[in-house]
Amino acid sequence: GTTYLCTTVFHVESGECLDSMVEIPQVALKGMNDYQSFGSGVTYFRRYALSSALVLVTDKDTDASGEQVKDEQPKQKKAKIDNARFNKAIEAIKNGEYQIEQLIEKFDLDASQLSIVTQL
Beta bridge partner(s), residue 17: 10
Of the listed ranges 22-36, 70-84, 101-115, the least confidently predicted one is 70-84
pTM here? 0.43
Alpha helices in the chain (DSSP H): 34-53, 83-94, 100-106, 111-118
> How many Å is the Cα radius of gyration of the chain?
28
pLDDT (mean) for 23-46: 88
Domain ranges of the chain: 3-61, 83-118
43: amino acid identity, one letter: T
pLDDT digits (tens, 9 = 90+) for 36-76: 988 888 888 888 888 888 888 876 655 555 555 566 666 67
Element (DSSP H or E) covering residue 17 = strand 17-24
Give the DSSP per-residue string, 85-106. HHHHHHHHHHTTSS-HHHHHHH
pLDDT (mean) for 71-83: 80
Q: Is the dihedral of CA 84, 89, 92, 94 positive or negative?
A: negative
